[in-house]
């Protein structure tokens, strides 16, 4: 558990920040130890049944804290992470600012949490991976550990909350407008998000044609696994409030059966199998929503698999989903903090 001392949450009014507050409250951290911060004060945030004031972020807040969660975007992280470290805080950053910095560990505790045990004394900085990378690696690390993964092709179905609390409000507002026969706006994304599906809203590289989300999945997977695995991703936004879904095609380095894949996945911490062919019961965003677990199912041999004499194959397909505000951001950050503090 996180020891005594105050805990700063920068971005406390946002989608990830409010989820962090929910999780801290659920763990019994008393209200007096929480410092909710944002760019300006004057608002209140829920902490369990209580409403607590949000303070405008200033260096002084980090001097009184032992731990700081950064959930305010990359630009704010570049400003406030050095200040928090200078003040002696351990810092967990949920943004992209430090993910590819070789001096900063990029951690999913179930996957590469051992790197945290090798860090020195406080203050320490740890980066949370992108939420799509977390989902992919929670689903595939059990296969990587047992069979090895050579090549991955993944298509994402990403919830609008991945773009923050304003995007959630846009989906609610636009959905009501459509049902009321009103014209659709596109004031949050370039495209309307209600009743629509569109290519991920991150910038597209003119040369490779990949958007930033697709590029992050490739780079972060290589960094976390420490291999040269190839990840070809197509990232797409769908009209879902929370929980990202992915359809994955994976080529294994040694042959396997569906049953051995199921066993490896079922034994992995933080993952649950939802894979009932007879009942057509598989992972959905609603089943994952508000939960801690990554759901994996629809595990099947790919049509282009090479099959050996024992009926085992080298290529498989599966579907997975995860509440990306929870395990994709807030829960992952909290698990990192627990491990840093020896909890």
- Looking at 89, 131, 149, 235, which residue is catalytic? 131
Q: Find all residues with CB under 8 Å of 28, minimum gap 6, and list them.
A: none
Nearest approach, Cβ of residue 262 and ligand NAP (Å) = 28
Concerning whether 188 is annotated as a catalytic residue, the answer is: no
Which of the 8 DSSP states describes residue 182?
P
162 binds ligand NAP per the rule CB under 6 A: yes
Nearest approach, Cβ of residue 287 and ligand NAP (Å) = 18
Judged by CB under 6 A, the chain residues 188 through 217 that form the site for ligand NAP are: none
105 binds ligand NAP per the rule CB under 6 A: no
Concerning whether 289 is annotated as a catalytic residue, the answer is: no
Instruction: Report the candidate in 204, 299, 212 with the shortest Cα–Cα distance to residue 248.
Output: 299
Q: Which of 2, 6, 7, 14 binds ligand NAP (CB under 6 A)?
A: 14
29 binds ligand NAP per the rule CB under 6 A: no
Q: Which of 71, 140, 188, 264 binds ligand NAP (CB under 6 A)?
A: 71
Tell me whether residue 244 or residue 312 sits nearer to ligand NAP (CB atom).
Answer: 244
139 binds ligand NAP per the rule CB under 6 A: no
325 binds ligand NAP per the rule CB under 6 A: yes
Per-residue x/- marks for ligand NAP, 263-302, CB under 6 A? ----------------------------------------
Residue 145 Cα distances to 4, 21, 112, 148, angstroms = 36, 34, 11, 6
Tell me whether residue 1 or residue 44 sits nearer to ligand NAP (CB atom).
Answer: 44
- Looking at 188, 193, 244, 320, which residue is catalytic? 244
Tell me whether residue 292 or residue 317 sits nearer to ligand NAP (CB atom).
Answer: 292
Instruction: Report the candidate in 177, 157, 161 with the shortest Cα–Cα distance to residue 169.
Output: 161
- What is the SS3 assignment for 23-66? HHHHCCCCHHHEEEEECCCCCEEEECCEEEECEECCHHHHHCEE
Instruction: Report the candidate in 182, 159, 78, 57 with the shortest Cα–Cα distance to residue 125.
Output: 78
Tell me whether residue 39 or residue 254 sits nearer to ligand NAP (CB atom).
Answer: 39
Q: Find all residues with CB under 8 Å of 125, minimum gap 6, and list them.
A: 81, 85, 90, 91, 92, 93, 98, 104
Tell me whether residue 113 or residue 150 sits nearer to ligand NAP (CB atom).
Answer: 113
Per-residue x/- marks for ligand NAP, 72-101, CB under 6 A? xxx-x-----------------xx------
Q: What is the DSSP string of 191-247?
A: S--TT--EE-SSPBPTTT--BHHHHHHHHHHHHHHTS--EEEEE-EE-S-SS-EEEE
CB 39 within 8 A of CB 12: no
Nearest approach, Cβ of residue 29 and ligand NAP (Å) = 19
Tell me whether residue 264 or residue 334 sits nearer to ligand NAP (CB atom).
Answer: 334
User: What span, in angstroms and rounded, lies between the C-alpha atoms of 37 and 71?
Assistant: 10
- Where in the sequence numbering do the catalytic residues fall? 131, 244
Which spans of this chain sit near ligand NAP (rule: CB under 6 A)? 10-17, 38-40, 57, 71-74, 76, 94-95, 131, 161-162, 164-166, 324-325, 328-329
């Amino acid at each position: 558990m996180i020891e005594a001392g105050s805990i700063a949450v920068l971005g406390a009014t946002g989608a990830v920040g409010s989820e962090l507050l929910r999780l801290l409250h659920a763990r019994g951290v008393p209200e007096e130890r929480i410092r909710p911060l944002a760019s300006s004060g004057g608002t209140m945030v829920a902490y369990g049944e209580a409403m607590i004031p949000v303070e405008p972020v200033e260096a002084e807040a980090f001097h009184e804290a032992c731990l700081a969660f950064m959930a305010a975007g990359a630009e704010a992280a570049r400003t406030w992470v050095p200040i928090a470290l200078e003040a002696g805080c351990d810092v967990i950053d949920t943004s992209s600012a430090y993910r590819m910095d070789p001096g900063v560990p990029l951690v999913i505790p179930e996957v590469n949490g051992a790197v945290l045990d090798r860090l020195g004394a406080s203050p320490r900085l740890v980066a949370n991976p992108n939420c799509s990378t977390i989902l992919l690696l929670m689903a595939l690390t059990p296969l990587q550990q047992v069979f090895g993964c050579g090549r991955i092709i993944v298509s994402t179905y990403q919830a609008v909350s991945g773009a923050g609390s304003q995007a959630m409000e846009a989906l609610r507002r636009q959905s009501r407008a459509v049902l009321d026969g009103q014209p659709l706006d596109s004031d949050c994304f370039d495209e309307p998000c209600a009743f629509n599906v569109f290519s991920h809203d991150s910038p597209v590289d003119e040369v490779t044609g990949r958007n930033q989300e697709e590029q992050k999945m490739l780079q972060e997977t290589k960094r976390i696994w420490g291999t040269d695995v190839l990840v070809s991703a197509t990232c797409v936004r769908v009209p879902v409030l929370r929980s990202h879904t992915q359809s994955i095609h994976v080529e294994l380095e040694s042959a396997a059966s569906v049953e051995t894949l199921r066993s490896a996945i079922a034994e992995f911490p933080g993952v649950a199998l939802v894979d009932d062919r007879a009942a057509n019961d598989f992972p959905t965003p609603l089943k994952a929503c508000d939960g801690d677990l990554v759901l994996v199912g629809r595990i099947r041999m790919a049509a282009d698999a090479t099959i050996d004499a024992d009926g085992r194959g080298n290529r498989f397909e599966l579907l997975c989903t995860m509440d990306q505000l929870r395990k994709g951001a807030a829960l992952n950050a909290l698990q990192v903090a627990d491990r840093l503090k020896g909890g």
